[in-house]
Amino acid sequence: MGKVTGFMEFERVQAPYRDAGKRMLDFQEIYTDHDEQRLTTQGSRCMDCGVPFCQSEEGCPIHNLIPEWNDLVYRSQWREALERLHKTNNFPEFTGRVCPAPCEGACVLGITDPAVTIKNIEMAIVDRGYAEGWIVPRLPAQRTGKRVAVIGSGPAGLAAADQLNQAGHQVVVYERADRAGGLLMYGIPNMKLDKNVVVERRLQLLRDEGVEFVLGQAVADGSDGSIDAQQLLADFDAVLLSTGATIPRDLPIPGRELTGVHFAMDFLTRNTRSLLDSNLADADYISAKDKNVIVIGGGDTGTDCIGTSLRHGCKSLVNFELFPQPPTQRADNNPWPTWPKILRTDYGHQEAAQRDGKDPRVYSISSTEFVDNGNGHIKAIRTMDVVMKDGKFENVPGSEREWEADLVLLAMGFLGPEHAVSDQLGISYDQRSNYQAEYGRYNTNVAKVFTAGDCRRGQSLVVRAINEGRESAREIDRYLMGSTQLP
């Protein structure tokens, strides 16, 4: 694939972000315009490898035809590349922006050299498709008369809705928030994934293709204005639960009740809603302006809290991470093609370093107490350094420290889904409180009810949610029609 000797001739050149100092001043996307010459050159680096591990389960859960569209981009056959991309991925404009690219971690070239810039190429293909007018509504050839309710409009729910609609079923998506998109709309900040341009554009396509959205409407027991889940089950031929894993992991240490300690998703959601409603003019968000901010927890959510706090104009910023700093290269127990557990500097870390002259992360540290300012508001955090022994963290004696803090954001991941809908339907749970359903089949213990995404498997990647949405749609179609042609 690509130029036969391209991987030997050309080095990896990744698409740059906008200048860190400038992009901190707005909530516009951090990406720069696509450079076609660079992209075709990078596409040429794709090897004619015997087994493309980028397409494997380890590399790409939706099995994108990566070598094929890399080769097509190298040959400047962009429309054909888009067709190959859409065969496996309903929403490449989302994954091309927010996926951590396990495909690059599994790239065969990555054994000896820097991997192909797969994520950059994917994003460029779909953006080119929109710019050229190649992506248009696709109306199903015929309708089956079957109706499917999808509860939750995150990536799993949207992927399932898209597939089921294309199969000819009438799909209604229920979303309790005021806008559709779930995690894509309110869990990921605008500078990583533009809502009006990128997310709403795809949502409108789905509407134009016949998918119906019911917004601002929770599904539960029918009280307090919610839709009764049992009635929904009676009204539809099948129901898909794709409600996500929305219960955040807490930090129950002394002082947790103090004002100024917030879950990261509350901080991010309110910021994005205010940004979309009024460009933050309504002040209906948790502001980090002129505050000493501490983000507890790494990962994408922690980085997004860093980036948002910097854009608010925080006074100072520190990011606590419980685990030690990762190595810069793969460790012996982290071989290719597994996900490389190495030190990564994301956009928020770059911005903090640009402004403050240092990386905001502090490793191997555990919070022990939130300190009251005397008026019920946090003024500091007390911590201890930790080391790992026999798989457990132990405090380091004499390492106590106190950090000034006006705003603390808890970004420590999620425990599982909420149970308002599932309890009403009588859904069984696994040991981690997720909705119980076998991977690949997705049917629950309740007839007609299926489940997919983070609410079934636990917190994971957008690309894995898309995969589960697609596969659950296949199984729902099989259940409704007796057979299926969905992939």
Please give the full DSSP string across 368-429, using - where no structure is assigned: EEEEE-SSSBEEEEEEEEEEEETTEEEE-TT--EEEE-SEEEE---EEE---HHHHHHT--B
User: Which residues have C-beta within 8 Å of that of residue 83, sequence separation ≥ 6?
Assistant: none
Residue 362: closest CA among 307, 297, 289: 297
327 neighbors 343 (Cβ within 8 angstroms): yes
- Class of the domain covering 6-131: mainly alpha
What pLDDT is attached to residue 48?
84
d(CA 453, CA 441): 13
Domain locations along the chain: 6-131, 147-246+415-481, 250-412
What pLDDT is attached to residue 289?
98
What's the angle, vertex CA 376, arms to CA 373 and CA 380, rounded to 5? Answer: 40
Give, to the nearest 10 degrees, the angle between helix 118-131 and helix 66-74. Answer: 60
What pLDDT is attached to residue 391?
86
User: Which residues have C-beta within 8 Å of that of residue 366, sequence separation ≥ 6?
Assistant: 322, 383, 384, 385, 386, 393, 395
- Fold match flag (147-246+415-481 vs 250-412): yes
The topology under which CATH files domain 147-246+415-481 is FAD/NAD(P)-binding domain (3.50.50)
pLDDT (tens digit, 0 to 9) for every residue of the chain, 487 residues total? 668 999 999 999 999 999 999 999 999 999 999 999 999 999 999 998 989 999 998 899 999 999 999 999 999 999 999 999 999 999 999 999 999 999 999 999 999 999 999 999 999 999 999 999 999 999 999 999 999 999 999 999 999 999 999 999 999 999 999 999 999 999 999 999 999 999 999 999 999 999 999 999 999 999 999 999 999 999 999 999 999 999 999 999 999 999 999 999 999 999 999 999 999 999 999 999 999 999 999 899 999 999 999 999 999 999 999 999 999 999 999 999 999 999 999 999 999 999 999 999 999 999 999 999 999 999 999 999 999 998 899 999 999 999 999 999 999 999 999 999 999 999 999 999 999 999 999 999 999 999 999 999 999 999 999 999 999 999 999 999 999 999 9
CATH of domain 250-412: 3.50.50.60
What pLDDT is attached to residue 50?
87
What pLDDT is attached to residue 414?
96
Task: Enter the pTM of the model.
Answer: 0.96
Buried b / exposed e over 448-468, threshold 16 CB at 10 Å, is: bbbbbbbbbbbbbbbbbbbbb
Q: What is the pLDDT of residues 452-480, one digit of tens each?
A: 999 999 999 999 999 999 999 999 999 99
100 neighbors 77 (Cβ within 8 angstroms): no
What pLDDT is attached to residue 142?
95
